[in-house]
Structure 1
Amino acid sequence: MEFDADTAVRSAAQDAAGLVAAMPRLVLEARKIAASVYHGLHGRRRAGTGENFWQYRRFMDGEPSARVDWRRSARDDHLYVREREWEAAHTVWIWPDLSTSMVFASPLVWETKRDRALILAFALAELLVRGGERVGIPGVMRPSAARNIVEKMAESLVHAHSLPQSLPPAFSPSPLAEVVLLGDFWSPTAEVVASLAGVSASGAHGHVVQICDPAEETFPFSGRVEFREPESGTALTIGRAETVREDYVARVATHRAIIRREAERRTWSFLIHRTDRPASELLLALHARMSGGSFGVTAHPEGQPADPAGSPA
Structure 2
Amino acid sequence: MEFEADTAVRSAAQDAAGLIAAMPRLVLEARRIAASVYHGLHGRRRAGTGENFWQYRRFNDGEPSSRVDWRRSARDDHLYVREREWEAAHTVWIWPDLSASMVFASPLVWETKRDRALVLAFALAELLVRGGERVGIPGVMNPSASRRIVEKMAESLIHAASLPQSLPPAFAPSPLAEVVLLGDLWSPTREVVASLAGLASSGAHGHVVQVCDPAEETFPYSGRVEFREPESGATLTIGRAETVRADYVARVATHREAIRREAERRTWSFLVHRTDRPASEVLLALHARMSGGHGAVPPREGTAGDGADQTGHAA
TM exceeding 0.5: yes
Report the TM-score, using the length of structure 2 for normalisation.
0.84
CA offsets, 1:172-228, max 9 Å, x none? 111100110000000000011111111111110000100000000000000000000
CA distance in structure 2 between the aligned counterparts of 1:24 and 1:298, rounded to whole angstroms: 34
Change (3 A) 1:261 1:274: same
Are 2:241 and 1:241 equivalent residues in the alignment? yes
Q: Residue 249 of structure 2 contacts residue 308 of structure 2 at CA under 8 Å; is this kept in 1?
A: yes
Q: Which moved more, 1:285-294 or 1:234-243?
A: 285-294
Residues 272 and 297, structure 1, Cα contact 8 Å, conserved in 2: no
C-alpha distance in 2, partners of 1:297/1:273?
A: 13
CA offsets, 1:9-58, max 9 Å, x none?
321211110000000000000000001111121101346667745999xx
Q: How do 1:89-238 residues align onto structure 2 when only pairs under 5 Å count?
A: 89-238=89-238
Q: 1:54 to 1:33 in 2, by over 3 A?
A: farther
Cα deviation digits, residues 239-291 of structure 1 (max 9, x gap): 00000000000000000000000011101011100000000001100000000
Q: Which amino acid aligns with 2:26?
A: L
Q: How far did residue 231 of structure 1 move?
A: 1.0
Distance in 2 of aligned mates of 1:264 and 1:47:
30
Matches within 5 A, 1:273-284: 273-284=273-284
Are 1:253 and 1:306, in contact at CA under 8 Å, matched by a contact in 2? yes
Report what 2:7 is aligned to: 7
Q: Distance in 1 between matches of 2:42 and 2:199?
A: 28
Kept after mapping to 1: 8 A contact 2:96/2:164: no
Identity %: 80
- 1:87 — aligned with what? 86
Q: Which has the larger displacement, 135-144 or 3-12?
A: 3-12
Q: Secondary structure at the match of 1:31?
A: helix
Ranges in structure 1 where 5+ consecutive residues have no aligned partner:
57-63, 68-81
With 199-208 and 5-14 compared, the bigger mean Cα shift is at 5-14
The residue that corresponds to 1:59 in the other structure is none
Which of 297, 304, 309 is the equivalent residue of 1:300? 304
TM-score, normalised to structure 1, is: 0.85
Deviation at 1:171, TM superposition (A): 1.1
SS at match of 2:313: coil
RMSD: 2.5
Separation of aligned partners in 2, 1:156 and 1:290: 24
Q: 1:136·1:144 contact (CA, 8 Å) conserved in 2? A: yes
How far, CA to CA, are the matches of 2:185 and 2:210 in structure 1? 6
Give distance in 2, aligned partners of 1:298 and 1:7.
Answer: 42
**Residue type matched to 2:9 in 1?**
V
